[in-house]
Structure 1
Amino acid sequence: MEVCLFLIGYRSDTHREPRDVDTSLVEAASRNVEGLRRFVIHRAVESANGDPLSQEDGLKPTCVLQWYFDDLDLGETALQRDGAAHTIVDHTTDAAQGRLAFTQQLMAVRRFATPNAHDSGNPSEKCTYLVGYEGEARDFNAWLTHYLTHHPPLMAQLPGIRELEIYTRVDYRTGLNIPRATAMQRNKVVFDDPAALAQALASPVRARMKQDFDAFPAYSGPASHFPMHSIYGNLNRT
Structure 2
Amino acid sequence: MSFCYFVLFSHPQDPTLRLAPAQAAALRNCLATLPGLRKAHFYTPAEARDRFIDDGAPPVFGLQLYFDTLQALESAVCSGGAFHSLVQQGGLSSLDAAKAEQQAMLLRPYDVPEPKPASATATSFLVWYPGPADDLQAWLGAYLRGHAPLLRQFPGLRELEILSRVDWIDQLPWPRVQHMQRNRVMFDSPEALTEALFSPVREALRDDSATAPRYSGGNRHYPMLTEVVAGPASASAR
Q: TM-score, normalised by structure 2?
A: 0.89
Percentage of pairs with the same residue: 34
Q: Does 1:198 align with 2:194?
A: yes
Q: Secondary structure at the match of 2:112?
A: coil
Alpha-carbon deviations, 1:67-98, whole Å to 9, x = none? 111011111111102523324545443234x3
Decide whether aligned partners of structure 1 residues 5 and 133 sit closer, same or farther in structure 2, where only a CA change above 3 A counts: same
CA distance in 1 between partners of 2:132 and 2:195 (Å): 30
Q: Secondary structure at the match of 1:46?
A: coil
Counterpart of 1:95 in structure 2 is: 94
CA distance in 1 between partners of 2:124 and 2:104 (Å): 19
Q: Is the 8 A contact 1:27 1:41 kept in 2?
A: no
Alpha-carbon deviations, 1:29-48, whole Å to 9, x = none? 2112111011111111222x
Counterpart of 1:69 in structure 2 is: 67
Counterpart of 2:159 in structure 1 is: 163
Amino acid at match of 2:147: H
Counterpart of 2:123 in structure 1 is: 127
Shift of 1:55: 5.3
Shift of 1:26: 2.6
CA distance in 2 between partners of 1:32 and 1:159 (Å): 36
Task: Decide which moves more: 106-115 or 77-86.
Answer: 77-86
CA distance in 1 between partners of 2:58 and 2:173 (Å): 21
Alpha-carbon deviations, 1:113-135, whole Å to 9, x = none? 111101x5x65551000001012
CA distance in 2 between partners of 1:88 and 1:186 (Å): 26
Q: Does 1:36 align with 2:42?
A: no
Amino acid at match of 1:78: A
Amino acid at match of 2:101: T
Counterpart of 1:84 in structure 2 is: 82
Alpha-carbon deviations, 1:215-236, whole Å to 9, x = none? 1110111200000001012332
Task: Decide which moves more: 79-88 or 154-163.
Answer: 79-88
Q: Is the 8 A contact 1:93 1:101 kept in 2?
A: no
From 71, 93, 105, the counterpart of 1:107? 105
Decide whether aligned partners of structure 1 residues 15 and 39 sit closer, same or farther in structure 2, where only a CA change above 3 A counts: closer
Decide whether aligned partners of structure 1 residues 194 and 124 sit closer, same or farther in structure 2, where only a CA change above 3 A counts: closer
Q: Is the 8 A contact 1:40 1:233 kept in 2?
A: yes
Consecutive unaligned residues in structure 2, runs of 5 or more: none
Shift of 1:53: 1.9
Alpha-carbon deviations, 1:156-183, whole Å to 9, x = none? 1100000000001001111112210221
RMSD: 2.0
Decide whether aligned partners of structure 1 residues 151 and 16 sit closer, same or farther in structure 2, where only a CA change above 3 A counts: closer
Q: Secondary structure at the match of 1:137?
A: coil
Within 5 A, what are the aligned runs for 1:7-22? 7-11=7-11, 14-15=13-14, 17-22=16-21
Decide whether aligned partners of structure 1 residues 26 and 155 sit closer, same or farther in structure 2, where only a CA change above 3 A counts: same
Q: TM-score, normalised by structure 1?
A: 0.89
Within 5 A, what are the aligned runs for 1:167-178? 167-178=163-174
Consecutive unaligned residues in structure 1, runs of 5 or more: none
CA distance in 2 between partners of 1:88 and 1:42 (Å): 18
